[in-house]
């Protein structure tokens, strides 16, 4: 169902309501689109809608709730995004992480964050970058080699939804990091980035295991988070027709299910292995 709280939150010379779903982000997007709510109003788990639309949205089927009731409903749905994953919070957290990684290169960090915050990105955004870094922390007890951490920062730095993205990201990393890190480390960063095109490191590639497992951690997310991931990926490919997207996504899901193993580290298998198989299996059934 779709819910809305009373106009109360002031910004930009008006007051706003929050519009949510207790079922899925996809349902929320569909309702918003059908009722003229701009995509720019979406903030990860809700839409901010101006007071002038409140009555229209209620008439269209949004159920009115108090602010507290709406907040409780969103939490209970499993769709709520933690505060640290909000755009402003994500930027602050990532800035701190970058400055700890390469403290002498703040401008490079800012340039990378600008790339990750490009307006055409939905799933492949700064939120994804932070999630992969946090997954890497879990896998390595915050002791991953610097080359792996740099590969995370650059692995989707170029994102156009094409087969060249990984290669272009690797080339960008080599250009940006040349003269900043040692040549051997630079080659390793580029090699690791290219691995994310297939997620198929060799059996002895421990650095590759860390990066690929962290990048695929979303596959083992709980249902609400996995649904947001799927909705974000679909919006990343909004220019692709439903039929073509379904065919392409089904092929991707089959490739992921065919990975043997899907997670290369024991910790990755423990954290995400079973849930990833469940999520992908359900998704493939729906796509089919």
Comparing 29-43, 69-83, 99-113, 180-194, the range with the smallest average pLDDT is: 69-83
Residue 79 pLDDT > 90: no
Q: Give the β-pairing of 2-4 and 14-21.
A: antiparallel
| pLDDT value, residue 86 | 56
Residue 82 pLDDT more than 80? Answer: no
Q: 212: exposed, middle or buried (C-beta count within 10 Å: 0-12, 13-18, 19+)?
A: buried
> Where do the domains of the chain lie?
2-80, 85-287
pLDDT band at 38 (very low <50, low <70, confident <90, very high): confident
DSSP class per residue in 77-119? HT-PPPGGGSHHHHHHHHHHHHHHH-TT-HHHHHHHHHHHT-T
Q: What is the pLDDT of residue 9?
A: 80
More confident residue, 88 or 216: 216
- Return the minimum-mean-pLDDT range out of 30-44, 83-97, 192-206: 83-97
207-257 per-position pLDDT tens digit: 999 999 999 999 999 888 898 899 889 988 988 999 999 999 999 999 999
For residue 119, the model assigns a pLDDT of 87
Percent of the chain predicted with pLDDT > 70: 97
Q: What is the mean pLDDT of residues 15-43?
A: 90
Residue pLDDT, tens place only, 251-281? 999 999 999 999 999 999 999 999 999 999 9
CB count in 10 Å sphere of residue 235:
17
CA atoms of 82 and 136, how far apart (whole Å): 19
The closest alpha carbon to 197, from 208, 205, 181, 186, belongs to 208
Rounded distance between C-alpha atoms, residue 189 and residue 3, angstroms: 46
pLDDT surpasses 90 at 57 = yes
Q: Please compute the mean of the pLDDT values over residues 141-147 and round it to a whole number.
A: 95
Q: Which residue has the higher pLDDT, 154 or 232?
A: 154
Average pLDDT over residues 147-157: 98
Query: In this structure, how many other beta carbons lie within 10 angstroms of the beta carbon of residue 191?
Result: 16
| pLDDT surpasses 80 at 85 | no
Q: Which fold has domain 85-287?
A: Catalytic domain of cyclic nucleotide phosphodiesterase 4b2b (1.10.1300)
DSSP the chain: -EEEPPS-EEETTEEEEEEEESS-HHHHHHHHHHTT--GGGB-SS-EEEEGGGHHHHHHTTPEE--HHHHHHHHHHHT-PPPGGGSHHHHHHHHHHHHHHH-TT-HHHHHHHHHHHT-TT-SSSSHHHHHHHHHHHHHHHTT---HHHHHHHHHTTSS-SSSTTHHHHHHHHHHHHHBTTB-HHHHHHHHHHHHHTTTT---TT-HHHHHHHHHHTGGGGS-HHHHHHHHHHHHHHTTTS-HHHHHHHHHHHHHHHHH-SSS--SHHHIIIIIHHHHHHHHHHHHHH-
């Amino acid at each position: 169902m779709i819910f809305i709280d009373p106009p109360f939150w002031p910004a930009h010379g008006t007051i706003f309501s929050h519009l949510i779903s207790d079922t899925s982000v996809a349902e929320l997007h569909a309702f918003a689109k059908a009722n003229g709510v701009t995509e720019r109003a979406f903030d990860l788990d809700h839409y901010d809608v101006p007071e002038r639309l409140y009555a229209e949205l209620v008439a269209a089927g949004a159920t009115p709730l108090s602010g507290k009731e709406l907040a409780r409903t969103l939490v209970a749905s499993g769709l709520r995004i933690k505060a640290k994953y909000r755009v402003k919070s994500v930027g602050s957290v990532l800035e701190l992480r970058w400055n700890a990684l390469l403290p002498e290169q703040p401008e490079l960090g800012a340039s990378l964050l600008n790339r990750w915050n490009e307006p055409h990105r939905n799933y492949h955004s700064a939120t994804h970058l932070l999630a992969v870094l946090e997954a890497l922390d879990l896998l390595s007890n915050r002791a991953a080699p610097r080359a792996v951490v740099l590969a995370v920062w650059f692995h989707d730095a170029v994102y156009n939804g094409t087969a060249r993205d990984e290669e272009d990201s690797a080339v960008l990393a080599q250009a940006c990091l040349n003269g900043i890190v040692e040549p051997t480390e630079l080659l390793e960063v580029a090699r690791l980035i290219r691995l994310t095109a297939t997620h198929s490191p060799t059996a002895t590639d421990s650095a590759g295991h860390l990066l690929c497992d962290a990048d695929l951690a979303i596959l083992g997310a709980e249902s609400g988070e996995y649904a947001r991931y799927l909705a974000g990926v679909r919006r990343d490919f909004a220019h692709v027709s439903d039929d073509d997207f379904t065919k392409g996504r089904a092929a991707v899901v089959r490739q992921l299910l065919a990975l043997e193993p899907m997670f290369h580290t024991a910790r990755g298998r423990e954290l995400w292995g079973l849930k990833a198989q469940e999520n992908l299996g359900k998704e493939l059934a729906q796509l089919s």
